[in-house]
Structure 1
Amino acid sequence: MKTSQRLALAGALALTGVLALAGCTSADTSTDRVSGVETAESLAPSYSNDALTQEMAPGSQEGGQESTPQGAGADSAERSQIITGDLYLTAEDPLATADAVETQVNAAGGRVDSRSETAQIDGNTPRASLWVRIPADALEDTLDAIEALGVLESKTLSNQDVTLQVVDLDARIAVLEGSIERLQELLEDAASTADLVEIETALSERQGELDSLNSQRNYLSDQVQYASIGVDIRSPEDAPEREPDGFVDGIVAGWQAMLAFFAGSIVFFGVIVPWLGLLVALSIVLWIALRIRRRNTTRRGGD
């Protein structure tokens, strides 16, 4: 074969090899691209599943960015205190005084949760007891008005700081509200029935927890906004004995003791008078019986 023919044949073979290599490379590249797209689509989770998994992960509420550790905002929050107390008053008419106490409480924007009364029966003195709720911002003025209705015998007030509980409840409620909003968004974008059921179950659980926390928060708010005061009203006869503070108080105490002694003595004699009458009657009957017996004895001796 001539040299020119050999060169032409070599060139044709080289060209054919280059074309074949280029075709193989292009095919491999296309195959890799298609397989790569399919792999990415099969491995990447849908938006709903990924968000739902993150939303329902353990500790997603307590450890999320929206959660606030207990007591974190207590220093900057307004102090929340529960005020309770008791008043002991004496008045000439405890039942009428109880009506006046209820009027004062209602005028202050409060309420009477319970009331009990005992009338004067069988020598028992009348008394009344009330459990009232008074707005905390009007507590001092209302208590002053109630104390003026009678004689204050005793008074106790106590405060319980619940600021940490309020802050903790507010933080947990905020976290649950945010979680419910996200679950509602996922519910709208649910792609399958399984996702729909799972999201609805999680949403129902979150809503139940939120309702429970809101109930606790409302109860705590009521306890903070309204002080709870017990008012016991009795007649002056039931008042505790007081030690005299001075000479005049000593005279008054002695005079009252003397009157009480004579009053007690009169009552005592009034109680024993019927028994004295009975004893006198029995004595007369006994004396007559003895006289008759003596006469009979004397007559027998004379015979």
Structure 2
Amino acid sequence: MKKILHIIGFVSFVLILGIVFIVVWSTGKMPKTSQQTSYAPTIATSMGIPMGIEMMDQAQQKDMLGNGTSAEDRAKIGPKIIKNGSLTIRVSQLEQKLDELTGLAKDLGGYIDESRISDSGNNRTAFATLRIPSNKFDEGVSAIRKMALVVFDQYTNSEDVTAQFVDLDARLKAAKAEEAQYLEILKRAGSIKDTLEVAARLGEVRSRIEQMEGELRYLRDHTDYATLSVQMTEETSIAAPTRTWKPWETLKQSFQGLIIALQVLIDILIVAATFLIGFLLPILIILGLIAWIIRRLISPS
């Protein structure tokens, strides 16, 4: 009898242990199931706490983004053109022309972004970068050409970034809408785990927002203001030589030249006389002796 009771007790213990294991296992699996079906793309659920961050993804984001480069969007924003140009010119007065460039930029509603002057002997050059409103770009190029004595080189370039601008603007709006949803989710998060997950996603969204805002600022700056680089070289002027008339000095130099010429002539005569006395005189004496001897031989008397 005791043996039967022991068997029944053991079987009951095994059954109870199995039931507990099944309950614990089922409880451990439930969060994963709910994680896949909660946090719906909409902010509210029947519990009032949206869950399932992973479910707010690509399909809804595509709906929020839409077709960001539609003709209607392009018409609303208008054309976005980045204009750049450069001029290499020769001018007469470097500092004055650099001041004129500064005044030109201000008159057109822009500014000088950078300027410098380089002086290397007779070769003086200046460089300036103008930022002027894009709608005044052609006017600025024409005014600079009028300043130049010679235009060595001119380059202009235009890049249409309207589609890029519209796309960035649409994605930024979608990201801000996503940020607002995550902020609402964060208010309703009921557990630490949910709060941490939402905060992490919110940080990612805000990072993308900052990046897109930076890109939009760059595009706005370069489409609103054109960049025009100007390199100037100064025309070198050759001064005519000047001479002061000094007749007295000229007379003195003439007398000095005459005296020097006479000295040279006398030196030549001295050299010639020395040559005659030292070289020709002995020869003449010898020739005279030979002639005298021959004459004595021919004439016995």
Please give the TM-score of this superposition, normalised by the length of structure 2: 0.60
Which of residues 116, 138, 153 in structure 2 aligns to 1:140?
138
The Cα of 1:68 is off from its aligned counterpart by 2.9
Q: Could you say which residue in structure 2 is the equivalent of 1:113?
A: 113
Q: What amino acid sits opposite 2:190 in the alignment?
A: A
Distance 2:208 2:197 in 1: 17
Q: Could you say which residue in structure 2 is the equivalent of 1:271?
A: none
Q: Could you say which residue in structure 2 is the equivalent of 1:196?
A: 195
The Cα of 1:110 is off from its aligned counterpart by 1.1
1:125-164 equivalences under 5 Å are 126-151=124-149, 153=151, 154-164=153-163
The Cα of 1:197 is off from its aligned counterpart by 0.5
Check 1:100–1:300 CA distance in 2 against 1; reply closer, same or farther (3 A cut): same
The Cα of 1:156 is off from its aligned counterpart by 2.7
Q: Could you say which residue in structure 2 is the equivalent of 1:80?
A: 80
Distance 1:47 1:145 in 2: 66
Q: Could you say which residue in structure 1 is the equivalent of 2:209?
A: 210
What's the secondary structure of 1:89's corresponding residue? strand
Contact 2:88/2:232 (CA < 8 Å) preserved in 1? yes
Q: What amino acid sits opposite 2:181 in the alignment?
A: R
Contact 1:180/1:207 (CA < 8 Å) preserved in 2? yes
The Cα of 1:99 is off from its aligned counterpart by 1.1
The Cα of 1:130 is off from its aligned counterpart by 0.8
Note the alpha carbon deviations across 1:74-123, whole angstroms, 9 max, x for none. Answer: 6534111100111233221022101110111023221212212123x533
Aligned pair count reads 211
The Cα of 1:194 is off from its aligned counterpart by 0.5
Q: Could you say which residue in structure 1 is the equivalent of 2:51?
A: 50
Check 1:295–1:106 CA distance in 2 against 1; reply closer, same or farther (3 A cut): farther
The Cα of 1:299 is off from its aligned counterpart by 3.8
Distance 2:125 2:276 in 1: 67
Is 1:95 aligned to residue 95 of structure 2?
yes
Check 1:97–1:50 CA distance in 2 against 1; reply closer, same or farther (3 A cut): same
Check 1:187–1:127 CA distance in 2 against 1; reply closer, same or farther (3 A cut): same
Contact 1:81/1:160 (CA < 8 Å) preserved in 2? yes
The Cα of 1:155 is off from its aligned counterpart by 3.0
Contact 2:185/2:198 (CA < 8 Å) preserved in 1? yes
Which one has a bigger Cα radius of gyration?
2
Note the alpha carbon deviations across 1:128-163, whole angstroms, 9 max, x for none. Answer: 111111111232333333333333514332211111
What's the secondary structure of 2:64's corresponding residue? coil
Is 1:166 aligned to residue 165 of structure 2?
yes
Q: What amino acid sits opposite 1:133 in the alignment?
A: R
The Cα of 1:59 is off from its aligned counterpart by 5.7
Note the alpha carbon deviations across 1:20-46, whole angstroms, 9 max, x for none. Answer: xxxxxxxxxxxxxxxxxxxxxx97854
The Cα of 1:66 is off from its aligned counterpart by 1.4
Contact 2:49/2:190 (CA < 8 Å) preserved in 1? yes
Contact 1:54/1:60 (CA < 8 Å) preserved in 2? no
Contact 2:134/2:224 (CA < 8 Å) preserved in 1? yes
Contact 2:94/2:125 (CA < 8 Å) preserved in 1? yes
Q: Could you say which residue in structure 2 is the equivalent of 1:279?
A: none
Q: Could you say which residue in structure 2 is the equivalent of 1:231?
A: 230
Runs of 4+ that moved beyond 6 A: 300-303
Q: Could you say which residue in structure 2 is the equivalent of 1:68?
A: 66
Contact 2:90/2:234 (CA < 8 Å) preserved in 1? yes
Distance 2:203 2:211 in 1: 12
Check 1:161–1:297 CA distance in 2 against 1; reply closer, same or farther (3 A cut): farther
Distance 1:300 1:204 in 2: 117
Percent identity among equivalent residues? 19
Contact 1:49/1:195 (CA < 8 Å) preserved in 2? no
Note the alpha carbon deviations across 1:244-299, whole angstroms, 9 max, x for none. Answer: xxxxxxxxxxxxxxxx9xx9xxxxxxxxxxxxxxxxxxxxxxxx9xx97x968984
Please give the TM-score of this superposition, normalised by the length of structure 1: 0.59
Distance 2:128 2:274 in 1: 75
Check 1:92–1:298 CA distance in 2 against 1; reply closer, same or farther (3 A cut): farther
